[in-house]
Chain A
Amino acid sequence: MDKFKKVDGVAAPLPILNVDTDMIIPKQFLKTIKRTGLGKNLFDEMRFTKEGAEIPDFVLNKPQYRNAEILVAGDNFGCGSSREHAPWAIADFGIKVIISTSFADIFYNNCFKNGILPIKLSQSDVDKLMDDAERGANATVSVDLEAQEIKGPDGGTISFDIDPFRKHCLLEGLDDVGLTLQKEEKITSFEKTRASEQPWL
């Protein structure tokens, strides 16, 4: 995984509550056996007509948001299924940061495995950034994970909380499996105890 660097980019507003994983990446695109190439189908049914033509009103189809790197969205973003295709599609499109008041647990977790930073903020901070995002390409937002700070176009700073271990893994681009395998002895020892105490497992 690539190391997470400071993001200075356009923020796209998506003021919808409960954006679910079926919206983010509809099921017909889950048939792939690869992780890559899903960005073109991100928000497919909101972004394209049935015939495949762009729907001009949808935020990511507007010229000023086509290269958005930050998404500002309504409450409970990413609810629904566990499909990691959702963060794969978001990352493949080029979005690196999602800002909302709340995220569904599984989606939130999946973001960190794919170099995406989900940021939880208060309603008033999200409202402020949503207003900034509405201003389009004239309003770039800067997200600094190291400092845990967001700077808006008018210079105001918003700080955010993040789990220190997750922050460390994102900044260093660490591979979870590799980290866990360093604890091989502990796992083996746990398995031995368990096999004697609960032999039916």
Chain B
Amino acid sequence: MVSVLKRSLAIITLLIIGYWLAQGLAGVPFGQDRMLVGKYYLENVKAQTGAVNAVTAIVVNYRGFDTLGEVTVLFIASTGVGALLWRRKKKRTAKTEGSVVLRTGSELLFPFILMFGTYIFIHGHLTPGGGFPGGATIATAFLILYMAFVDYEIPHRLFEPLEGLAGMGYVLVGLIGLAIGSYFLFDWIWQTWHWGAANLGRLFSGGFIPVIYTLIGLKVGTELSGIVDSMLTEEVRE
């Protein structure tokens, strides 16, 4: 009886909140020209950032500070998982090997998946994608290796320092901007050095966007692989 009462109370509360939210949504003028900053970005993106992909330019250049924060959020997630699943000695304890198809396929595809992931983050300023999906693609290559082989482990000695170095690299790019252009995360490659001005729309353009996206790609790739590793290894007692 109590549970029915409780449940109906919950449903009524949900309905009231839902109605209220819908009221709010109904008042938002969708489809109208409300692009205060959006319009500015579209009109100035090529000249100011050298990127033909406006979304990337906003994410990495105009609002690069947010992206630095998002990179940090992922770093925290990986560090947190690492801290909570920490054991003095960890080993893989999987019992069943992957099938022949999976094992052969993973070995054959591994370099190509890595290459594709790299392609995505290097071309972030030209095509959809960027450092986050590129890094996630790279992590899937390692995930497949984990699934195919019972004793595979990522090279920890390489990955953990690389993750830290990539993050430091991002902040350093920002600090160099502070030193050269006197603003943190200032795009010194494009706005001070004017590199790639003749190359608009090709690989060597976009100022510091490809540099940052490469760092993010490496960071996200090593981070997600690290999370997979933390979750797939278990404590062993000597």
On whether the two chains bind one another, the answer is: no
Q: Identify the B interface with A (CB < 8 A).
A: none
B-contacting residues of A (Cβ < 8 Å)? none
